[in-house]
A and B are shown apart, each in its own frame.
Chain A
Amino acid sequence: MAGNELSDDGFIELDGVEKVFDVRRKAGFLRRERHRVRAVDGIGFRVGRGEMVGYIGPNGAGKSTTIKMLTGILTPSAGRLRVAGIDPSRERAGLAHRIGVVFGQRTTLWWDLPLRDSYGLVRRMYRVPEARYRANLDRCVELLDLGALLDVPVRQLSLGQRMRGDIAAALLHDPEVLYLDEPTIGLDVVSKAKVRGFLREVNAERGTTVLLTTHDLTDIEQLCERVMVIDHGRLVHDGGLAELHAAGESERTLVVDLERELPPIEDVPGARTVKVEGPRQWLAFGTGQSAAPIVAAVAERYPLVDLSVREPDIEDVIARMYAGGKGL
């Protein structure tokens, strides 16, 4: 991709986009209570061609609703939305040829058919030229390690295998933009690594624009230079991951198991003990810091049995952003 195409040409553009749902709730034998839920409450951002952007937020924040509007599944209640200059809700079928979508929780493949048959149908439905299809499929098979799975019905695949199969299906027609809704949810470490490596490669080599939602901050760390955070239907952060951590003053946690119950550890520089439960203690330290000197200091002074390091999760980061009054 040429450098100038990465500039702010606004391949995906949102201005003041809203999505309001009328929710009816049973409030008696025949009575229904109606109330309005603003799932997306005035969002605006631009994503340039070839960018890879993380779109994160707690459950129910409006991530999936945004993706559904970007793909044309849902019609926005207000605001302006364009993908490659097209209004997705009006020209859904036309846009379908240019986008790829992966829903982490639901497969886009045909449940009872082998992967190979599903792919053949995708090829015909999207009118992918035979040579192009061959090349794309071979590449996906190689990079996502699908060779042994092609003749297995989708329902017999494991979650990680199915996800790899789904990602391949979404890329057979050379989409310009790929939306992934929780592509690593429930995957084992090996599958996660494969998926991430593949996405990096697709983005780098073909210049495919990638927008992904996730709960796993490691996905963002390894894939995206830019991350957008949505909460209660509003964009609360748009920038790098480091700035997000800074804004949320997020901390990593070192969990140590000592040989016996001891008073809280206090003499380790750069860390403070936040919780003690019997022989187990929780030490918090900044995300910019290395865990190694802290582990060394604890091991030197205390009878250490076991330890683990926990990364901050997105809910904590956002909660702190609000607590610290640093939200936008």
Chain B
Amino acid sequence: MADALARARSVSGGLRAYGLIVAMWVRSTMAYRASFLMTTAGNFAASVLDFVAIMIMFSHIDRLGGFTLPEIALLYGATSTSLGLADLALGNMDRVGRRVRDGTFDILLVRPAPVVAQVAADRFALRRLGRVSQGLLVLGWGVARADVAWTPAKALFTAVTVIAGAGIFAAVFIAGAAFQFWAADASEVQNSFTYGGSTMLQYPPAVFARELVRGATFVVPLAFVNWIPVLRMLGRDDPLGLPGWVDFCGPGVALAMLTAAGLLWRVGLRNYRSTGS
């Protein structure tokens, strides 16, 4: 009981510290408003070009892996928004390795706030809203144009999917940061799962080898970000022939991954404090 209370206090303390640091970075960003608007617009434009490339591809084909362009937009929009949200919230966690190496990580340990909150909020970059808004735009276009009979339940399912997807990517960010306690260069491996994973998820599962799809379902379950739920929305079966209830596992998978990543982080931090680097 006392343990649960202490944990609740540490979580609320962490959120508070995260909020404080984020607010400070936002304020300091807003001191240079023009620069903020330009970098956000740049971020947005770079992401838009990404989807334009897919649209150009579709001027030569009608379907890709059984998906029409609006259906691809659903896939693309969902993963892009999810990754954008996770990147906005935790994108600077990959600086842990550098901080360990140059010794500034110690400073975080003498402040009265959970280290993970301080690391996550470090150099919070509001310009990353650019990717989120582009993702939402593509998702919205897909929702409007795809051949789906939208109901409130399906709309809710889409919203939950995007949030659970953000949770899955967030877990990968945290796990990647935790690995940097052992290997300072682990961020590149983590990038291949987050940014690389998201690029993979923009395309229908049918265009990839079955082994890859299986890996993305059972090993690092990125398939739950969008593949499995979007196939459900479209009323199609997944290429692995999984039972129907699996389609609703996104939030559960996200929670499990976040818990595992959190535990890994704690082990990494404990290891750091006993070895020094």
Contacts and interface: CB of A to CB of B under 8 A. Distances in A.
Contacts of A198: none
Contacts of B107: 101, 103, 106-108
B275 A21 contact: yes
A22 interface: yes
| Residue among B102, B112, B270, B274 with the highest chain A CB neighbour number at 10 A | B112
A108 B27 CA distance: 20
B98 interface: no
A238 to B, nearest CB: 25
Contacts of A113: 24, 28
8 contacts: A65-B276, A68-B106, A74-B274, A92-B109, A93-B10, A106-B102, A108-B110, A121-B21
Nearest to B102: A106
Contacts of B111: 96, 125
Nearest to B13: A93
Nearest to A112: B28
Contacts of B55: none
Interface in A67-119: 68, 71-75, 77, 89, 92-94, 96-97, 99, 101, 103, 105-108, 110, 112-113, 117
How many chain A residues sit at the interface, stated as a range, is: 20 to 34
A125 B17 contact: yes
A68 B276 contact: yes
A75 B274 CA distance: 5
Contacts of A96: 110-112
B146 interface: no
Contacts of B10: 93
Contact of A22 (B28, B102, B275): B275
B273 A103 contact: no
A-B pairs with lowest CB-CB distance, top 8 = A96-B112, A73-B109, A101-B110, A108-B107, A124-B20, A75-B273, A71-B110, A73-B106
B79 to A, nearest CB: 31
B114 interface: yes
Contacts of B276: 21, 65, 68, 74
A99 B110 contact: yes
A116 B114 CA distance: 23
B112 A121 contact: no
Interface of B: 10, 13, 17, 20-21, 24, 27-28, 102-104, 106-107, 109-114, 123, 270, 273-276
A117 B24 CA distance: 7
A45 interface: no
Contacts of B106: 68, 73, 103, 106
Interface of A: 21-22, 65, 68, 71-75, 77, 89, 92-94, 96-97, 99, 101, 103, 105-108, 110, 112-113, 117, 120-121, 124-126
B274 A93 contact: no
Contact of A125 (B104, B112, B123, B270): B112
Given A93-B112, A106-B103, 17 more contacts: A22-B275, A71-B109, A75-B273, A75-B274, A77-B274, A99-B110, A101-B110, A103-B106, A105-B103, A106-B102, A106-B106, A108-B107, A117-B27, A121-B21, A124-B20, A125-B20, A125-B113
A117 B28 contact: yes
Contacts of B112: 93-94, 96-97, 125-126
Nearest to A126: B112
Nearest to B273: A75
A264 to B, nearest CB: 47
A22 B274 CA distance: 10
B128 to A, nearest CB: 17
A117 B26 CA distance: 12
A93 to B, nearest CB: 5
A259 to B, nearest CB: 50
B110 A73 contact: yes
Contacts of B20: 121, 124-125
A74 B271 CA distance: 10
Contacts of B28: 112-113, 117
Contacts of B27: 117
Nearest to A124: B20
Contacts of B21: 121
B273 A74 contact: yes
Given A22-B275, A72-B109, A89-B273, A121 B24 contact: yes
A26 to B, nearest CB: 14
A93 B114 contact: yes
B5 to A, nearest CB: 14
Contacts of B109: 71-73, 92
Contacts of B273: 73-75, 89
Contacts of B270: 75
A93 B108 CA distance: 10
A21 B277 CA distance: 10
B271 to A, nearest CB: 10
A101 B104 CA distance: 13
A266 to B, nearest CB: 50
Given A74-B276, A125-B112, A106 B104 contact: yes
Nearest to B118: A125
Contacts of A73: 106, 109-110, 273
